């Protein structure tokens, strides 16, 4: 084999330098959160900034828990996430099966409407939804964050439908001939095969619910019921404006879960996102 000539080596090295720079830029904010969180209140404001933390202290975390009961807020976020994920995933899979396997009048049109709803801006529906949820007394509860998801999410329905379309129809057929009803076919045959798609959907919904900031801001009005994301916004200090030691420690605990989940499930998540761009 021919050895690469000088120009090739040269452009290669430049590309590696650019790639390294990109990696540093994109990870720096998270590195900064993590190091400032364990830097203690003094190291946090040290100038020049401690690029490698010199003082290590857990003081920021102690004040975070004492001032804002962060453990409780993590629990709140977890509760919202679990119920959101259950509803969003379960219902979306059922609806997706209907779109993928059943024949009924108007299916094409309804499916196009479904694709269209993915484009509806959030602020087009948030005001009337707020009025509705306030009218039925759900203001201050977690229901507005969870219940809409139990009726299915268009994006997930689309993703799971695409996945089901790739499963051979003969499997359904064989089960139906054996006397299974459609719903049994769905739960016994299809759901076990859906694992990769469902994992992607579960992660997406986890990230959405865990990171949601605007909906909790609108609906939650008692400090005790705040989610982590919302609590981060309300860490004020009378002098500095923001209570930075707690914000950093809080960002650390709020970020660590999504970051870990992402690293362990990258493949499925990325696969799911890549699918979402392929509209048939």
Partner 1 sequence: MTFPTAVLRKNKKGLSITAREALSGYLFISPWLLGLLLFAAGPMLFSLSISFFKWDMFKSMTFVGIQNYIKAFTDDEYALPSLLKTLSFVLFETPYQLVIALLLALLLNSKLRGTGVARALVYLPAVLSGAISGSMWKFMMDKDLGVINYFTLTLFNVKIPWLIKPDMAMFSIALTGALAVGTSMILFLAALQSIPAQYYEAADIDGASKVRKLFKITLPFIAPTTLYNLIIIMIAQFQCVVPFMVITGGGPVKSTYVFAYYEYETAFRYMRFGQAASQSWIILSVVLVATMAILATSKFWVYYESEKD
Query: What's the DSSP call for residue 150?
Result: G
Minimum separation from the CB atom of position 244 to partner 1 (A): 6
Among 132, 165, 171, 223, binds partner 1 (CB under 8 A): 132
Among 69, 79, 115, 130, binds partner 1 (CB under 8 A): 130
Considering the complex, state which of residue 78 and residue 207 has its C-beta at the smaller distance from partner 1.
207
Among 2, 3, 239, 263, binds partner 1 (CB under 8 A): 263
Report the site for partner 1 in 17-56 (rule: CB under 8 A): 18-19, 22-23, 25-27, 29-30, 32-33, 36, 45, 47-49, 51
Report the site for partner 1 in 160-219 (rule: CB under 8 A): 169, 173, 176-177, 182, 186, 207, 210-214, 217-218
Q: Which two tokens stand for residue 156?
A: 């997930």
Should residue 139 be labelled a site residue for partner 1 when binding is judged by CB under 8 A?
Answer: no
Among 67, 134, 141, 187, binds partner 1 (CB under 8 A): 134
Among 110, 112, 165, 223, binds partner 1 (CB under 8 A): 110
Contact assessment for residue 199 and residue 268, using Cβ atoms and an 8 Å cutoff: yes
Report the site for partner 1 in 69-108 (rule: CB under 8 A): 91-92, 94-95, 97-99, 102-105, 107
User: Which helix (DSSP H) or strand (DSSP E) does residue 241 occupy?
Assistant: strand 241-242
Among 6, 119, 137, 238, binds partner 1 (CB under 8 A): 119
Q: Where are the alpha helices (DSSP H) in the chain?
A: 6-37, 40-44, 59-68, 70-101, 107-117, 122-135, 143-146, 154-165, 169-177, 182-184, 191-193, 195-211, 214-219, 228-233, 244-276
For 173-182, the CB contacts below 8 A with 24+ separation are 182/101, 182/102
Among 8, 112, 223, 270, binds partner 1 (CB under 8 A): 270
Crossing angle for the helix pair 70-101 and 154-165, to the nearest 10 degrees: 50
Nearest 5 degrees, angle CA 156-CA 227-CA 122? 45
């Amino acid at each position: 084999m021919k050895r690469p000539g000088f120009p090739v080596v040269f452009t290669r090295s430049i590309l590696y330098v650019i790639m390294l720079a990109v990696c540093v830029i994109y990870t720096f904010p998270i590195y900064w959160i993590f190091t400032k969180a364990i830097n203690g209140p003094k190291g946090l404001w040290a100038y020049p900034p401690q690029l490698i933390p010199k003082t290590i202290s857990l003081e920021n975390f102690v004040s975070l828990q004492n001032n804002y009961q962060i453990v409780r807020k993590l629990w709140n976020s977890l509760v919202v996430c679990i119920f959101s994920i259950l509803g969003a995933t379960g219902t979306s899979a059922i609806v997706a099966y209907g779109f993928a396997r059943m024949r009924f009048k108007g299916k094409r049109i309804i499916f196009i409407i479904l694709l269209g709803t993915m484009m509806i801006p959030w602020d087009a529906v948030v005001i009337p939804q707020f009025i509705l949820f306030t009218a039925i007394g759900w203001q201050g509860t977690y229901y507005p964050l969870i219940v809409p998801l139990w009726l299915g999410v268009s994006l997930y329905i689309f993703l799971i439908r695409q996945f089901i379309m790739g499963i051979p129809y003969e499997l359904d057929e064989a089960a139906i001939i054996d006397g299974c009803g459609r719903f049994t076919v769905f739960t016994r045959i299809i759901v076990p095969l859906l694992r990769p798609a469902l994992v992607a959907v579960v992660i997406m919904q986890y990230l959405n619910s865990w990171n949601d900031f605007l909906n909790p801001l609108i609906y939650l009005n008692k400090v005790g019921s705040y989610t982590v994301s919302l609590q981060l916004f309300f860490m004020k200090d009378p002098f500095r404006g923001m209570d930075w030691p707690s914000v950093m420690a809080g960002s650390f605990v709020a970020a660590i879960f999504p970051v870990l989940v992402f690293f362990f499930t990258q493949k499925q998540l990325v696969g799911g996102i890549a699918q979402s761009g392929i509209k048939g």
